[in-house]
Chains A and B, each alone.
Chain A
Amino acid sequence: MNVTLQVWRQAGPSAPGGMVRYEANDISPDASFLEMLDVVNERLMAAGEVPIAFDHDCREGICGSCSLMINGVAHGPNKGTATCQLHMRSFADGREISVEPWRSRAFPILRDLVVSREAFDRIIAAGGYISAPTGSAIDGNATLIAKDEVDTAMDAAQCIGCGACVAACPNGSASLFTAAKITHLGLLPQGQPERGLRARRMVEQMDIEGFGGCTLYGECQEACPKLISIDTITRMNRDYLRAAVAPVRAVVSESD
């Protein structure tokens, strides 16, 4: 099959960028979207041109590296899949396809379609963990967790941190990402001691990074390759607001 690509090309973080047209001919309909880009790149290199830079790693939807805005939709037209799981048969032959990087101030473009998602790392570093003493592993069955809670925690834990939620959000909000982490850890018994502090710190960091607020458009859950629900955002809000009004432990000696 043949498609026409309009690809965002940008030589470096501060270089000016623009859309460039490429004809991708004789592409197998069974090729993944990234394999199609590989073919285009091989031809570019053979012609002595600079190949299109794009992020990828596992190519099976589990690492969260791939990140393309395809025809204005994060990860392309199919629901619940990452760009690496999208196949060319999803497009009509002869179709024009626009390919752009995620657009967010917090995700600066490094080159072409590659953006830095370090802002997500900093949100995780602010509280997306459980502090536990290391040492010999404890018996896995020692802590029982209700099935419902495990399932909801696991649904949220599916987040691969790709950033599609930010890319698809009209507000450029990272609420779904942050909320997925807060939900995942906040539902497990090991996550309880730091639950309030975690929500506060992660939400604060999300704001510091310059992401937008949440207006509950719902675009993020539609774009999410792991179909994470905006119910997680409700949980994040609950944990954050509770922590914000919870009494602080203070040691005071009230004088008369």
Chain B
Amino acid sequence: MNRVQALWKSSVGKKAVMAVSGLLLVAYLVTHVLANLLVFQGPEKINLYSRLLHGTGGALWVARLALLAAVVVHIVAAVQLTRRSQVARPVGYAGGRRPQVSTLASRSIRWGGVLILVFIVYHVLHFTVGIVHTSFVEGDPYHNVVAGFANLLVVAFYELALVAVGLHLYHGLWSSGRSLGVSQPSPRPLRRQLAVALSLIVWAGFTVIPLAVYAGVIR
């Protein structure tokens, strides 16, 4: 068995793969949220940004494929590890097991992940492909955003999914350093504060947009 296979087979190796792919996706989300916030500056800037991205041609597709690969390995590892956990305790506690310290973010990481996956599929069909959009115009993201968030149900779904994204990011961010074995022991670790700050920024940045559109601030 070669080393890559051995690493992938082990539970520790899979978590390392999840950490690396997760961090890559977070890095993307940070650029994504910053770019999205251009929508507050009117149609020109964000549409220009979109034209620049599409103008890069091959590079855009390389980035898309890299992100897709990260999503795929992240999910495959997560499914396999979840399966492993289920098999590890075939009979549960009759009186229930009472969680003592685990956070909502950690306990919702799996179902939150499923919700995020559903959301990503919808989101791509909504704003990239445009087939679930009522008046999609290729190359006019400003219009697509304004028209796309006219529906309250759509806005609600985005807001719900973004809560899952925020929680997922918080747990994933602080714990990824541990999965990779690089976190240093500390009673008040900086990684927790960084994880809170970054997940709040990403969550808030994405969250205000549908609300602003629905409230008529962006139109």
Q: What is the interface of chain A, defined by CB distance below 8 A to chain B?
A: 6, 8, 18-19, 69, 71-73, 98, 100, 103-106, 168, 170-173, 203-204, 206-207, 210-219, 222-223, 229-231, 233-242, 244-245
Contacts and interface: CB of A to CB of B under 8 A. Distances in A.
Given A105-B88, A173-B88, A212-B88, A218 B102 contact: yes
A231 B106 CA distance: 17
B97 A69 contact: yes
Contact of A207 (B11, B100, B181, B182): B11
A211 B84 CA distance: 8
A171 B85 contact: yes
5 contacts: A19-B95, A73-B100, A212-B87, A223-B100, A242-B181
Nearest to A209: B88
Contacts of B89: 103-105, 172, 212
Given A103-B91, A239-B181, A212 B85 contact: yes
A242 B181 CA distance: 9
B193 interface: no
A203 B10 contact: yes
Interface stretch (B44-52, B122-130, B172-180): B172-180
B90 interface: yes
A104 B88 contact: yes
A244 B6 contact: yes
Contact of B87 (A210, A217, A219, A244): A210
A223 B6 CA distance: 31
B7 interface: yes
A212 B97 contact: no
Contacts of B3: 244-245
A216 B192 CA distance: 13
Interface stretch (B12-20, B56-64, B138-146, B151-159): B12-20
A214 B15 CA distance: 8
Contacts of A210: 87-88
A231 B13 contact: no
